[in-house]
Amino acid sequence: MVKIKLPGGIERKYKDKVTVRNVANDISTKNRGSAIAGKLNSTLVDLDYAIETDTKLDLVMDNSEEGLEILRHSTAHVMAQAVTRLYPDVKLGIGPSIKDGFYYDFDLGRTLTQEDLEKIEEEMKRIIGADEPFKRSEEPREDAIKRMEKLNQRYKVELIKGLQDQTVSFYTQGDFIDLCKGPHVSSTKKIGAFKLLSVAGAYWRGKETNPMLQRIYGTVFTSKKELDKHLKLLEEIKKRDHRKIGVALDLYSFQDNAGAGLVFWHPKGGVIRNIIETFWREEHYKRGYDLIYSPHIAKIDLWKKSGHLDFYKESMFSPIDVEGQEYILRPMNCPFAILMYKTKIRSYRDLPLRWGELGTVYRYERSGVLHGLLRVRGFTQDDSHIFCRPDQLKDEIVGVIDLAQYMLESFGFKEYEIELAVRGMGEEEKYTGDSEKWVLAEEALRSALEEKELDFVRMEGEAKFYGPAIDIKIKDALGRGWQGPTIQVDFNLPERFDVNYIDSDGLQHKVVMVHRTVLGAMERFLGCLIEHYAGDFPLWLAPTQVRILPITDKHNDYGIRIKNKLSEMGIRSDCDLRNAKIGYKIREGTLEKIPYLLIIGDKEIEEETVSVRSRKKGNEGSVPLSQFIERVEKTVKDKA
């Protein structure tokens, strides 16, 4: 007898060995056909896997996240089969499932075009229609190498040689075979609605010294309705791409002559950044922070002592020779705050010290991963370091959460997800600091979240080696998650740098150090803001809040007077004095996403009013200038 335990306390017994598919068909008619795979004691297996001993079984449904991953991976195999049929000399790389889709890397003798993608899609449809079963097979490692060598698949040979297992598994559908761990759907016909999206270059195994392959991206869902919904989302994401909007609105640029990954802020982008930074400084001063400034480089010995040279060397730029001594561009700001702390003896009465810094750091990122403002080589962190006593830790964390919530809501982010990153069970050796300190820190972070009545997910094994953390992922207008505020408790640096305070007992005690950001990198946050608002910033953030549009030259003087009045009141405005038709001026202002356009003609001069056209409401008619200014000032003050 084979005894199988199922979720919900269900148990089934079978006289002979039984497949996962048999069990799936047996337990519930309503679920028949919806199981895509099984999970035996946490190991994913195909539906045709034969169960021969007592075990625990979970069914993986096609609409679950794991089910979708299997569906995506299977579709990647079908795509590789189609490419192999169309281009027989192709060399195959890898083809995993990814978030919302899949990709496969190919070494081809030609560059693929959009027309090629359409041909590949058509071939995939033929393969799917043929209802070809996915069949798993296993063979000794050496035999697998010979098989792939015979097929002239050198990348597969390299992958097999890198495996430790002596047995290698393959999957075959029709005339196509691929190295794969699995599982897969039972047949190509089980693949739902799919779409190939794009082609991009990708170095083999991510190394720039390796050949450049062509990576085809695609997506697949269980129904056409879900696929259409996703494609519509992708179109919306494309419209909101900060790289395109940033150029269109003249906010920033990258200059090849200066180097990749280095941002040049244009005047309009500079205005937005200055607004954010000014707001950031004001709110920090209100909450008892002091602001500091520190150098952009330091001797290599500092980074050795901090541990960055050991743990972050690959992300650091090469040393700079200065009069025979090696200096390094800073990858982080924290050692500088510590050096300033240690310039004098600190008493327990001096704590907490809250030091904030908008500190620019430099990290080496490979050119292939640079992505607009989201992944750059030089960026400014809204960094702060708090030095406190153990008994102050929880209240300091609550204060940071309060500040983070206020900042996020001010910028229009109402939804976010919170993770509490802690040590993995039984993995204490991976972390620095004694267990008592870890318990104290985790308790302080957890208690602070509970006091704020915030839901969070405990992430076992996700803590940094030096301490646990709270990570907040903000959601934009499309529901996408972005890395936001983080609060990290650090035991490592106080130990390495011997950072102490004199307690009431007259003895030295180690400070508790908290690293935190409430916005993250300014560059990444600006990119997030651009995509969240699609460049249509709220009034308080708009680089130009009001544009005056005189209809003809005879209205220019009145327009200039209005502009000067607005400037006196602190309202950012300009006056379009070009000899152009008013319709053209309106269109230009609309494309630049300026919140208010004030149209000036004879009537407005005679009545001393302005004709208001807003992005939100369109034509609002004529209103007295003083009334308009009052409305703008209130909207800006409320950060509406």
Name beta bridge partners: 475.
481
What pLDDT is attached to residue 30? 53
- Tell me the pLDDT tens digit for each residue of 293-351: 999 999 999 999 998 888 788 899 999 999 999 999 999 999 999 999 999 999 999 99
Where do the structural domains in the chain lie, given as residue ranges? Answer: 2-61, 66-239, 261-294+333-533, 295-329, 546-637
Contacts of 285 (CB under 8 A, 6+ apart): 291
Distance of CA 94 to the CA centre of its chain: 23
> In this structure, is the dihedral angle defined by the CA atoms of residues 321, 325, 326 and 332, taken in order, positive or negative?
negative
> Rounded to an integer, what distance in angstroms lies between the CA atom of residue 459 and that of residue 469?
10
Please report which confidence band the pLDDT of residue 413 belongs to, taking 50, 70 and 90 as the band edges: very high
Q: Which fold has domain 261-294+333-533?
A: BirA Bifunctional Protein; domain 2 (3.30.930)
Cβ 448 vs Cβ 398: under 8 Å: yes
Q: Is 628 helix (H, G, I), strand (E, B) or coil?
A: helix
Q: Is 26 helix (H, G, I), strand (E, B) or coil?
A: helix
Q: How is residue 350 annotated by DSSP?
A: G
CATH classification number, 66-239, choose in 3.40.47.40, 3.90.79.10, 3.40.30.10, 3.30.980.10:
3.30.980.10
CATH class of 546-637: alpha beta
> Rounded to an integer, what distance in angstroms lies between the CA atom of residue 63 and that of residue 498?
53
Question: What is the mean pLDDT of the segment spanning 118-128?
Answer: 97
- Tell me the pLDDT tens digit for each residue of 379-392: 999 999 999 999 99
CA distances from 378 to 46, 254, 330, 362, 374 (A): 47, 12, 10, 5, 11
CATH classification number, 2-61, choose in 3.40.50.1980, 3.50.50.60, 3.40.1740.10, 3.10.20.30:
3.10.20.30
Asked if domains 2-61 and 546-637 share a fold, the reply is no
Longest dimension (CA), the chain: 97
Is residue 233 over pLDDT 80? yes
Question: What is the mean pLDDT of the segment spanning 596-609?
Answer: 95
> Rounded to an integer, what distance in angstroms lies between the CA atom of residue 85 and that of residue 466?
52
Name beta bridge partners: 44.
39
Please report which confidence band the pLDDT of residue 32 belongs to, taking 50, 70 and 90 as the band edges: very low
> Rounded to an integer, what distance in angstroms lies between the CA atom of residue 529 and that of residue 543?
13
Question: What is the mean pLDDT of the segment spanning 174-185?
Answer: 95
What pLDDT is attached to residue 497? 96
SS (H, E, C) 279-316: HHHHHHHHCCCEECCCCCEEEHHHHHHHCHHHHCHHHC
- Tell me the pLDDT tens digit for each residue of 498-554: 999 999 999 999 999 999 999 999 999 999 999 999 999 999 999 999 999 999 999
* DSSP assignment string, 519-534: EEEHHHHHHHHHHHHT
What pLDDT is attached to residue 28? 61
- Dig out the tokens for 400 from the structure: 């940071």
Helix residue spans in 389-473 (DSSP H):
393-410, 435-451
**Cβ neighbourhood burial of 582 (10 Å; 0-12, 13-18, 19+):** middle
pTM of the model: 0.85
- Dig out the tokens for 442 from the structure: 């985790």
Contacts of 532 (CB under 8 A, 6+ apart): 240, 412, 413, 476, 477
- Tell me the pLDDT tens digit for each residue of 441-464: 999 999 999 999 999 999 988 888
